[in-house]
Chains A and B, each alone.
Chain A
């Protein structure tokens, strides 16, 4: 939740073709890119930023087999142990007849589990609020936030971004975590300190 307040140099690009080399150059210079916010998924940007592959699909698989086992073990327990019901003289352990429900529960567990995991990992929920570096990051701008440390010379970063093709550059002090809040109100996780 809490990430603390940090200082960022924020550069906004209006073309993904300019963004790609910029990302590459910024990283080559040794600056730390906090994140890039884009209005739509850009293929290859995660690799360019050096992010590792997501393993959300592995989680999906685990949820799926949980669903399969839940369905199969529950139905077997009900029909062979708890209440063996004679249905047309057919075997109590009627595996072929259980395939449809087993399949449905496999899909259900996997889908629900994956979406919940996704929301958890990305901290997505109603009434969750985060700092937005640029309102047009969900419209038509590709927003790169570079984290500043004590050693960073922001002037240098800014002129570097200018050269890389950023259309808008500014410095922001932002909270990196999320907090409970509403978008119609100005709410912050931390009280703004003096000096910023």
Chain B
């Protein structure tokens, strides 16, 4: 125990109950070794059902063309790209928790990072579906790759934000996967070493890459995690920045704004944390992990939600103000008529977004509400609806009335196959998440163990003794101890 790891008694424990190292292993690993509950099967089959419905919707779209969706020439992006941006945004919280909070040395990340990172990977998988199937002739999807081809070679356009997206999303997915899996190795080895059945020994033996826990390996592992965190931090900011460039570099009124990158990143983290809350509130209850995902964790995440929600609110108002102050009639028309006018065709969606994203999170200024599970769960859903509408507002209200009034769109609403596709990605997401919750340690076992003696409930009591000691004497003892 070196001095750096000392935690003040003022902070509440991050691991509740009377735990030792073995108990931590037992609590987190044993659900993997048991048969899943009835609830798990119900949830899993519903997810698979949704996934199949989504697959059928995609089959319709591929066979009969994009016309199966209600998108038209004016609103070419519709629900599809709305869903894309929404899912990418969801993913951002996972990286924020695992990378940025690691750099900031926030101990509470250890309880939630594994599940949040898994959420990131699954969300990015879902997000990737939308631009791919939106291509229409999806069998040509490999055209986005810069490979030497027989068409010239005619290269891709490296100056296009849509191509930047290809690079950003695929890099983001790869790096998140590597980060997540390298963190999983030691925990998979834990499952392997306590496995009783042959099959489990084989599978987790293969999956854990022969991890032994050697000191040298841990030293490299720590260094690797730190550098991957350092890389992921600008990466996650770049990803949503680049997604926002899809809009911001165009000349469409309502999209052509320089505030988009920070506003999108804040919104992404905001919606991502809401999704983490939705998932973890269920996981901690169903798997009995209340000692590891404590009210303190939920409160910390709610603080992030109120912060990022307010940044988003600030961005909405700035955007509105600049639209007026900039004196561009097209820009101002998009804001004042297409959005802020409640009686315009899509005015309701703008105000719904305002309410869900800006007004409702303000509840979390109250400590009591931040620590209330029911309120948090309800709010997490509200925020995700709000953030979906943000993307819908940006896409639809900006383009349904373009520069040419004769091509103004009639009221756009999605077709059943467009909705089906969206539901299908929910199916994909939850199918993956259910499998993850059953077969993988949902909490980073090794990381919890490494903070147990500084923030575990029983150990905190012991530390109170230490606090009474003379500071100089304590320092000498601790430093001597470490070296």
Contact = CB atoms under 8 A, between A and B. Distances in A.
B285 interface: no
Given A54-B220, A83-B153, A101-B167, A183 B205 contact: yes
B167 to A, nearest CB: 4
Please provide the 8 A-B residue pairs with the shortest distance between their CB atoms, ordered closest to farther. Answer: A183-B205, A140-B21, A128-B210, A124-B209, A184-B201, A97-B159, A40-B446, A41-B218
A64 B192 CA distance: 34
Contacts of A98: 158-159
Interface of A: 16-17, 20-21, 35-49, 51, 54, 56-57, 60, 74-75, 78-79, 82-83, 85, 87, 90, 94, 97-98, 100-101, 103-105, 107-108, 110-112, 114-115, 118-119, 121-130, 132, 135-140, 143, 178, 182-184
A105 B171 contact: yes
Given A90-B159, A108-B171, A139-B22, A182 B2 contact: no
B201 A56 contact: no
B450 A115 contact: no
Contact of A56 (B175, B179, B211, B227): B227
A115 B178 contact: yes
A39 B21 contact: yes
Contacts of B214: 35-37, 122
Given A51-B219, A101-B158, 5 more contacts: A41-B218, A46-B219, A107-B231, A182-B201, A182-B205
Nearest to B239: A104
A112 B174 contact: yes
Contacts of A46: 215-216, 218-219
Interface of B: 1-2, 4-5, 20-22, 25, 146, 152-155, 157-159, 161, 163-164, 167-168, 171, 174-175, 178-179, 182, 185-186, 189-190, 192-195, 198-199, 201-202, 204-207, 209-224, 226-228, 231-232, 234-235, 238, 242, 245, 445-447, 449-450, 453, 481-483
A122 B220 contact: yes
Contact of A137 (B164, B202, B213): B213
A126 B209 contact: yes
Contacts of A85: 155, 157
19 contacts: A39-B446, A39-B449, A42-B450, A43-B4, A47-B483, A54-B223, A60-B231, A78-B158, A83-B153, A94-B158, A98-B158, A100-B164, A101-B164, A103-B234, A105-B167, A122-B220, A128-B209, A128-B210, A139-B21
A10 to B, nearest CB: 13
B190 A138 contact: yes
